[in-house]
Amino acid sequence: MDWYDSIWLRRYFDAKKMIAQVAPTRLSEFEHAMSAFRTDDAFQVKYVSGFLDAKALQDIRETIAAIPRDAMELHELQKFGRLIVHDWPAFTAMQATMVDFVSELAGERVEPCYNFLSLYSRRGVCEPHLDTPSAKWTFDLCVDQSDPWPISFSSIIPWPEDREELIEDWRAVCEKRSPHEIRSLALEPGDALLFSGASQWHYRDPIPADGRKAFCDLLFFHFIPEGTAEIVQPRNWARLFDIPELDTIPNISLPA
Ligand SMILES: [Fe+2]
């Protein structure tokens, strides 16, 4: 099994280790700041039936059909069986209108972070993973599909304490022996759901194909707690906490 994702958490572990060495009295301040990205364990996935009416859905389908092929990113074709388009202007504009609604569902004030369109093909699959807190909240909207394709979630988990614990927790989900409660939901076109991908393992098993041309077009709108756009990026931690050693952590400058 390949280890997948949770890059942010690994940098968080490295940062905690570094701070414990070079500025131990600052550790609780750092952990407190990062707790903005943890999720209340009482949170339950919110299913929004009929988020879009037929006309709005048709408009989105037309927007998608008009996206030039060369704007589509191919780098996830192999691993996920999908084409993706990040931050398409029409979807970014749509996301801006959703802030109050998503804040209400999330139970905290949020702001938009990024979004992407995901056009899954008959090879569609999404292995169990946790998202970076840039996607603390994901509003997942189904635009079109050949058949309902369930997404599975764990309950809200406390973040593992270190990398070993993280990997063990992930393996348990992959091997269907997780102590966390796992729940599956299937969207219909126009329906959406809000989950907290930074604190819920989530995955989609291979798309049901049945020899037909299977597909699933989904929009993912990611939101972060209001006011956290800077601190969510590990590359900003050295500056924001005035601990220059944090810049020496490998790959800290890459977007998480
Ligand atoms: Fe995810």
Q: Give, in degrees to the nearest 5, the angle at Cα 140 between 145 and 63.
A: 60
Distance 32 CA to ligand 1 centre (A): 24
Distance 58 CA to ligand 1 centre (A): 26
Predicted confidence at residue 5, as pLDDT, reads 57
Distance 197 CA to ligand 1 centre (A): 6
Other Cβ atoms closer than 10 A to 197: 23
Q: What is the pLDDT of residues 171-211, one digit of tens each?
A: 999 899 999 999 999 999 999 999 999 999 999 988 887 76
* Domains located in the chain, CATH noted: 7-248 (2.60.120.620)
Distance 136 CA to ligand 1 centre (A): 10
Pairing state between β 126-129 and 182-185: unpaired
Asked whether the beta carbons of 252 and 235 are under 8 A apart, the reply is yes
Who surrounds ion ligand 1 at CB < 5 A? 131, 197
pTM here?
Answer: 0.93
pLDDT tier, 251 (very low <50, low <70, confident <90, very high otherwise): confident
Separation between Cα atoms, residue 239 and residue 170, nearest integer Å: 32
Distance 245 CA to ligand 1 centre (A): 30
Separation between Cα atoms, residue 18 and residue 40, nearest integer Å: 27
Asked whether the beta carbons of 204 and 149 are under 8 A apart, the reply is yes
Distance 6 CA to ligand 1 centre (A): 10
Distance 154 CA to ligand 1 centre (A): 12
Q: What is the pLDDT of residues 15-60, one digit of tens each?
A: 999 999 999 999 999 999 999 999 999 999 999 999 999 999 999 9
